[in-house]
């Protein structure tokens, strides 16, 4: 899917702390409070260290988390409250889960790791195949404009914490963006160890998402700017969307 399953091999250890700085978890908690999607069973795609899956479980959902990274899943399994969640390793394009679900989530720009339109469509088809009647697909995606706005300046970002520091270096490659991570971590003996990862993403527009939904016989039920919660304009950085399977004989946007 254009996704290197090893990219979180090292970053998994620091991921939760870095995401806490960005505030994604709080945004998704507020999203669940606002939408109040009904149902009992949920599937969290690209679940990573389990933040959204654990949030759903805490709200009474029966949850399965799927991710391509063994290291991220290892962190998820070790978190408090994770025992009741089924954790599965799988690709966004080809994953297989257990029972049909009422809700599929895919958070934190995870669909942007899909680098080709056919990969995005394959993901939507797998989601549609796993939804129970009346089920919904809730996800976010950074837009092409968002990539330029957030990473287009090419300026490096310095990150640091207890016993580590790192550098984030963004690069633009036509419709793709790359984030080269270089980190130094101090071990128990006081020595510093260096590691590197490169994350590649593609921005997706409203029309891109609509085409992928139609290819999977789904429709976008609602779409909004992740920053303003209003209808997205041309400079929306991140989109949030709810999709549903299309009723027989009807195709939406």
Cα separation, 218 vs 128, whole angstroms: 7
What is the biggest distance separating any 2 CA atoms in the chain, rounded to whole angstroms? Answer: 66
Topology of the domain comprising 12-144+203-245: Rossmann fold (3.40.50)
The domain locations on the chain are: 12-144+203-245, 147-201
131-164 tens-digit pLDDT = 999 999 999 999 999 999 988 778 999 999 999 9
Report which of 115, 123, 125 is spatially closest to residue 204, judged by C-alpha positions. 115
SS3 38: coil
Model pLDDT, residue 4: 61
Neighbour tally for 16: CB within 10 Å: 16
Residues of the chain with pLDDT under 50: 1-2, 249-253
Cα separation, 2 vs 4, whole angstroms: 7
Model pLDDT, residue 243: 98
Neighbour order of strands in the sheet with 164-173: 157-161, 164-173, 176-186, 192-202
Angle between helix 51-58 and 24-35 (nearest 10) = 40
147-201 belongs to CATH 3.30.70.580: no
Model pLDDT, residue 51: 96
Model pLDDT, residue 250: 47
- Would strands 238-245 and 131-142 be described as parallel, antiparallel, or unpaired? antiparallel
Strands (E), 143-175: 157-161, 164-173
């Amino acid at each position: 899917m254009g996704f290197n399953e090893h990219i979180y091999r090292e970053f998994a250890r620091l991921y939760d702390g870095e995401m806490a700085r960005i505030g994604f978890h709080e945004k998704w908690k507020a999203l669940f409070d606002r939408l109040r999607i009904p149902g009992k069973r949920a599937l969290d795609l690209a679940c990573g260290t389990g933040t959204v899956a654990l949030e759903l479980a805490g709200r009474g959902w029966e949850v399965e988390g799927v991710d391509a990274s063994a290291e991220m899943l290892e962190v998820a399994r070790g978190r408090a409250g994770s025992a009741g969640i089924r954790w599965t390793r799988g690709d966004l394009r080809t994953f297989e889960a257990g029972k049909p679900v009422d809700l599929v989530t895919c958070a934190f720009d995870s669909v942007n790791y899909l680098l080709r339109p056919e990969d995005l469509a394959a993901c939507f088809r797998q989601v549609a195949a796993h939804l129970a009647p009346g089920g919904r697909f809730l996800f976010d995606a950074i837009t092409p404009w968002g990539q330029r706005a957030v990473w287009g300046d090419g300026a490096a970002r310095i990150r640091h914490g207890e016993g580590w520091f790192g550098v984030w270096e963004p690069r633009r490659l036509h419709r793709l963006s790359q984030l080269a991570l270089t980190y130094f971590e101090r071990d128990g003996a006081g020595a510093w160890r260096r590691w590197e990862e490169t994350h590649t993403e593609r921005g997706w527009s409203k029309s891109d998402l609509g085409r992928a939904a139609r290819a999977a016989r789904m429709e976008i039920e609602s779409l909004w700017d992740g920053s303003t919660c209003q209808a997205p304009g041309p400079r929306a950085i991140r989109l949030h969307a709810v999709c549903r399977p299309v009723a027989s004989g009807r195709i939406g946007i």
